Amino acid sequence: MKNKPQSKILKRVLIELKAYYFDIIISILCALATVILTLRIPILTGQAVDCIVGKGVIDYDRLISVLREISITVVATFFTQWIMNRVNNRITYNITKSLRDRAFSKLQHIRLSVIDSHPHGDFVSRIVSDADTFSDGLLMGFTQLFTGVLTIFGTIYFMMRISWKIALIVIIATPFSLLLAKFISERTYKFFGEQAKLRGAETSYIEEIIVNKNIVRNNDYEDDALEQFEIMNDQLADASMKATFYSSTVNPSTRLVNNLIYAAVGVFGAMMAISGGITVGGLTSFLSYASSYGKPFNEISGVVTEFQNSLACAARLFEMIDAKEELNEGDKSIDGAKGKIEFKDVSFSYDKDKKLIEHLNLTVEPGKRVAIVGPTGAGKSTIINLLMRFYDIDAGEILIDGVDIRDIDINNLRSNFGMVLQETWLKNATIKENLKMANPDATDEEIIAAAKATHAHSFIKRMPYGYDTILSTDNGSLSQGQMQLLCITRVMLNIPPMLILDEATSSIDTRTEQKIQSAFNKMMEGRTTFVVAHRLSTIREADVILFVKDGQIVEQGNHSELLQKDGFYAKLYRSQIA
């Protein structure tokens, strides 16, 4: 995911805004009304001053009329500004909601290669923190940009009406303020982009330490973790400091220029008032406009600066939304599959510079149990990833009942496989709701029967509310073995034609494993099953055992045959028995 140019990101944001053109029109109209009403007040104030000092005698009737008009104008300004803010909030948060929804939706379909190549916390930071920052910048833009621009033009109009000579002083000096703001804001974008990137990395690291808190403490890694976090935090603080420093110089710099303009207007205006070129009330109005004229530049410069941060975060969101999805070009269905699986001359590697699987050939007959064993990193789980199309092969073909898996609808393909993995996942819901994920129509009797078959029923009944016990997000109330039993129970509620058991009993004690083996045997009966295991005692009954080394099947046969060969499998088996 590479950063796009700022102009392209801005164009993309404008495209997102097209859906809200009606609300934007209302916002602009309300902003216009607010500005006109706001700029009307200095004129009325000047008139009120002239009612007091213009004629030597106070004109009470005219003064009361002017004060009444000022009151009405203030109330009207309040309502137009309130409507504008309501509309702006609706636009901003609807866009942010839409981007968050699309980003999270993309996360469900994004290629695993993209997810695996980025820290997971970085995705969390994009969806949560970056979306919030983008929202804040966009809201500030709507709230202050429209009114700021309109105030500038409106102020120029009213100043020209009062005295075009003094107005020229203000207008001529304006470009200096704009150029200064532009010069500084251009340098803030890269710092805000770096800040967002480092914030994502820090979020990922915090998540990693929390998830693995037991390992961290067991290995006395707390001080090292703190030291690493301090380094990352220092980098984030440095990037944030630079971004904040450059952005914070915009407002005082433009304010300095505007104050100089205000001083020049005051001196020149006073000279004109003495010579009778302008009334005291007119000068009062003009000074008010001169002050109002400078404020929008400060606000706009602040908006531009904040918008740099907002665009940097929007870029990260758009990168995620635009990430490549899994290819699902297939339209065939394999419902009721017999389960014949063939790997024909399959080649694949995660890193194209490092070869892994090359010219793999394998045929698995329907209903057979295939065990895959071998050293760590040999490619055991990679074979499963290719079969499930979590990754696409580089060459060759994988067939199920004679149909290339690339021609099968990807959702239909995966629905024909039941998976129990070493990594367990249970959502924040009741135990019953977790189990029914595999079969929403399962009855309580079916759920209990499946739980009894996996020996999960006994510990479920000991939970505070039995099957209605709500599991926490991190499932701290369950051991790893209990979580794995629930995942096995979930698969048993809806057993598809083919099964994948990837270290399915790795967290279960040997005694419990022996007890549920009969349930496994029943589950695997008549179904093509792939079993990835390190504990060889669990796969002795497999029809075919594949010993994988460096992405290649170096030995193949059943348990007895491989022991007689006295090769890799035999040595590994004897080392475990010993």
Are 412 and 485 part of one and the same domain?
yes
Asked whether residue 219 is assigned to any structural domain, the reply reads yes
Residue 397 has pLDDT above 90, yes or no: yes
Pick from 286, 321, 356: which residue ends a domain?
321
- Core vs surface per residue 345-380: b (16+ CB within 10 A) or e: ebebbeeeeeebbbebebebeebbbbbbbbeeebbb
| 3-state helix/strand/coil string of 461-522 | HCCCCHHHCECCCCCCCCCHHHHHHHHHHHHHCCCCCEEEEECCCCCCCHHHHHHHHHHHHH
What are 143-164's pLDDT values in tens digits?
A: 777 788 888 888 888 777 777 7
147, 462, 533 from 132: Cα distances, Å:
23, 42, 44
Residue 404 has pLDDT above 60, yes or no: yes
Q: For residue 570, give the nearest of 542, 532, 540, 543 by alpha carbon.
A: 540
In whole angstroms, what is the distance from residue 81 CA to residue 104 CA? 34
What are 83-130's pLDDT values in tens digits?
A: 988 988 888 888 888 888 888 888 888 877 777 777 777 888 888 888
Are 457 and 372 part of one and the same domain?
yes
Q: For residue 159, what pLDDT is reported?
A: 77
Residue 429 has pLDDT above 80, yes or no: yes
In whole angstroms, what is the distance from residue 107 CA to residue 114 CA? 10
Between 86 and 427, the more confident residue is 86
Q: Provide the pLDDT confidence category of residue 578 given band limits of 50, 70 and 90.
A: low
- From the CA atom positions of the chain, what is the Rg in Å? 35
Q: Provide the pLDDT confidence category of residue 575 given band limits of 50, 70 and 90.
A: confident
In whole angstroms, what is the distance from residue 185 CA to residue 191 CA? 11
Are 288 and 362 part of one and the same domain?
no
* Angle in degrees, 0-180, between the axes of helices 60-109 and 131-140, rounded to the nearest 10: 160
The pairs formed by 222-227 with CB atoms below 8 angstroms and a separation of 24 or more are none
Are 158 and 248 part of one and the same domain?
yes
Asked whether residue 277 is assigned to any structural domain, the reply reads yes
Residues 6+ apart with CB under 8 A from 120: 204, 207
Are 187 and 121 part of one and the same domain?
yes
- Its pTM stands at 0.64
Pick from 321, 352, 386: which residue ends a domain?
321
Are 315 and 346 part of one and the same domain?
no
CB burial of residue 433 (10 Å; 0-12, 13-18, 19+): middle
Asked whether residue 448 is assigned to any structural domain, the reply reads yes
Mean of the pLDDT values across residues 540-549?
86
Residue 79 has pLDDT above 90, yes or no: yes
In whole angstroms, what is the distance from residue 237 CA to residue 161 CA? 50
What are 176-224's pLDDT values in tens digits?
A: 766 766 676 666 767 777 787 788 788 878 877 776 776 676 667 778 8
Number of domain units in the chain: 2
Are 220 and 305 part of one and the same domain?
yes
Give residue 292's domain range: 95-321
Asked whether residue 21 is assigned to any structural domain, the reply reads no
CB 20 within 8 A of CB 98: no
Asked whether residue 33 is assigned to any structural domain, the reply reads no
Q: Provide the pLDDT confidence category of residue 82 given band limits of 50, 70 and 90.
A: very high
Mean pLDDT score of the chain: 80
CATH code at 519?
Answer: 3.40.50.300
Asked whether residue 63 is assigned to any structural domain, the reply reads no
In whole angstroms, what is the distance from residue 116 CA to residue 120 CA? 8
Asked whether residue 67 is assigned to any structural domain, the reply reads no
CATH code at 101?
Answer: 1.20.1560.10
Mean of the pLDDT values across residues 275-295?
72
Are 156 and 220 part of one and the same domain?
yes
Are 300 and 421 part of one and the same domain?
no
Q: Which helix (H) or strand (E) holds 419?
A: strand 417-421
Asked whether residue 541 is assigned to any structural domain, the reply reads yes
Name the token pair of 100.
């968050």
Kindly report the number of other CB atoms within 10 A of residue 25's CB atom.
11
Residue 285 has pLDDT above 60, yes or no: yes
Residue 537 has pLDDT above 70, yes or no: no
